[in-house]
Amino acid sequence: MDLRADHFSLFGLNPGFRLDLSDLDSRYRDIQAQVHPDRFANASDAERRLSMQWATHANEAYLTLKKPLERAKYMLHLAGHDIQAESNTAMPADFLMEQMEWREAVMEARGGGDHHELERLHNRLWADIKSRYDDLGDLFEQNNHELATDRVRRLMFLEKLLYEIDDALASLEE
């Protein structure tokens, strides 16, 4: 194993957006069983440090590949495409209008304590996000990194909105 290996190689996976997550889970558990620091409790300091580095690398790689947005960002990074999340916040007007409408609906439902409406918004948004991830998978298969970069930036907005809806639901349950 090579600590400089990309996340896909670490788990013996072909690079791609569409992953079998149960296969990823299994491969992660296999690697953790090999490198977990507890297995090296009686080893030398250097071996313990190395096992800790491996375990940390495996954890980071697993968490990155497990989440579709993080996986997409990582794949774009590997392809040499910077999503410019902090410096490029320009979005098409229709997308921004849609975001404003979503946020108003969430604020209204939250303010009114409407748990049912927040769940409906969550389900609608989650279905939209899943559809966008399917489309993103197609873009990666076509090596269309320019358009994939744009779609990832949009998905960052939508994932944040989904988090806000979940936060609103949680606050009503308290």
Say if residue 43's pLDDT is above 90: no
Token pair for residue 147? 């358009």
Say which residue the tokens 């791609």 belong to. Answer: 16
Q: Which of 136, 133, 134, 109 is nearest to 120 (CA)?
A: 109
pLDDT confidence bin for 108, thresholds 50/70/90: very high
Average pLDDT over residues 144-172: 95
Average pLDDT, the chain: 92
pLDDT at 88 over 70: no
Counting DSSP H helices and E strands in the chain, the numbers are: 7, 0
pLDDT at residue number 131: 97
Q: Is the pLDDT of residue 3 over 90?
A: no
Q: Which domains does the chain have, with CATH numbers?
A: 7-66 (1.10.287.110), 93-173 (1.20.1280.20)
Nearest to 156 by CA among 127, 122, 132: 132
In the chain, % of residues over pLDDT 90: 75
